[in-house]
Amino acid sequence: MRVSVIGAGIAGLACALELAERGVAVEVLERAPASGPTGCSWFAGGMLAPWCERESCGALIARLGEESLPWWRAHFPATVRNGTLVLAHGRDRPELAQFARGTERFAALDAAAIAALEPDLAGRFAAGLYFADEAHLDPRAALAALAARLRELGVPVHYGIDADLEGLGGRTVVDCSGLAARRTLPELRGVRGEMVLLRQREVRLARPVRVLHPRLPLYVVPRGADLYMVGATMLESDSEARVSARALLELLSAAYALHPAFGDAEVVEAGSGVRPAFPDNLPRLTWCGQTLHVNGLYRHGFLVAPALARRAAEALLEGRHFPEVMHEDTRQRRLA
Ligand SMILES: Cc1cc2nc3c(=O)[nH]c(=O)nc-3n(C[C@H](O)[C@H](O)[C@H](O)COP(=O)(O)OP(=O)(O)OC[C@H]3O[C@@H](n4cnc5c(N)ncnc54)[C@H](O)[C@@H]3O)c2cc1C
């Protein structure tokens, strides 16, 4: 028995690894010609922020995210656990209070505590929230590490294959093709996200910093080697067009407002990805015949993929049902 996993984004690689580590013969099929900018995962910020995300996405995401943190430390030791700092400029202070009401597991900071955590932000913000247990990673390095681990386990990752469910007829398939699965999951929609990658040697940030704003919340995630990922727009659109001038203006202005030295940063890259999302913005495991779809990871792919992959493996191998992510009772399904 062989399981074919469609898609080498974070969902596909995590599912393939969970199955391979349980001794299942797996292959990964990816339509992009080579590893690299294959899908939405390439453009992610890499924040593993279950409690911050709780504010906008609720308890399920927080639970799946918290469950996933140890998996990341075990499978990608370069995961950095330095917490998240959440800030707001003076006139946006009410946003901070509202954010605090919607979440948990943070400490409230004053200006001195902010300066102690991030010396380069000293004197710039009067109040903030610190989520000490959160983490971040470089998504591109993490994808490469998971693919390398799959190779070690003898799992082939085939690039340049536009997998077709009908063509795979008879095989057990885990479909992690992101937005491309809309053909079978018509409720899926795209939420476009634009980002820029900056290089600035004069700013040192040790952790992701979120700056709240009523219309344009922004985050800056350190990537090492003086690189900072600045993200991200959230547009109800599945356009794969290049980054718009408006997005660049908004992202760069917000980075400049966080620290003026970002005005002199080198723009290394501007990119965009389309997040696959269901109407409730929550992930789902959906059976269609012999195919298990793992999709709708929205803005939490890295955060929740490990927890979803574990559920996918247990659904396939043990016929388990997980009502919080599986909308129909599928206890009878399992890998034959
Ligand atoms: C700007 C931005 C910032 C983000 N920041 C974060 C963050 O900080 N933290 C976080 O957790 N999440 C973040 N996300 C969300 C995260 O990136 C997504 O949730 C995640 O990438 C979705 O992963 P996926 O594997 O489902 O889809 P994808 O990464 O899109 O992977 C699907 C793969 O399937 C392949 N494919 C499609 N059709 C076929 C086919 N027929 N045959 C073979 N292969 C096929 C595609 O080429 C692609 O490689 C961010 C997203 C964006 C855009």
pLDDT along the chain (336 residues), means of 10: 94 98 97 90 98 95 98 98 96 94 97 98 97 98 97 96 85 96 95 98 97 93 96 95 96 96 97 97 94 97 98 95 82 51
Alpha carbons 178 and 6: distance in angstroms, whole number = 9
Rounded to the nearest whole angstrom, what is the distance from the C-alpha of residue 177 to the centroid of ligand 1?
A: 8
Q: Give me the pLDDT at residue 331, please.
A: 47
322 φ, ψ to 5°? -120, 95
In this structure, the residue with its CA closest to atom 50 of ligand 1 is: 44
Q: Which residues contact 243 (CB under 8 A, 6 or more apart)?
A: 194, 195, 196, 270, 271, 272
Please tell me if the CB atom of residue 61 comes closer than 6 angstroms to any atom of ligand 1.
no
Q: Give me the pLDDT at residue 333, please.
A: 58
Angle at CA of residue 159, ends 157 and 161, nearest 5°: 115
Q: Based on the number of CB atoms within 10 Å of its own CB, is 331 exposed (0-12), middle (13-18) or buried (19 or more)?
A: exposed
Rounded to the nearest whole angstrom, what is the distance from the C-alpha of residue 253 to the centroid of ligand 1?
A: 26
Model pTM above 0.75: yes
At 205, the amino acid letter reads L
- Please tell me the chain's helix, strand, coil percentages from 3-state DSSP, rounded to the nearest 5: 35, 25, 40
Q: Give me the pLDDT at residue 141, please.
A: 97
Ligand 1 site-directed mutation target among 40, 47, 248, most atoms within 8 Å of CB: 40
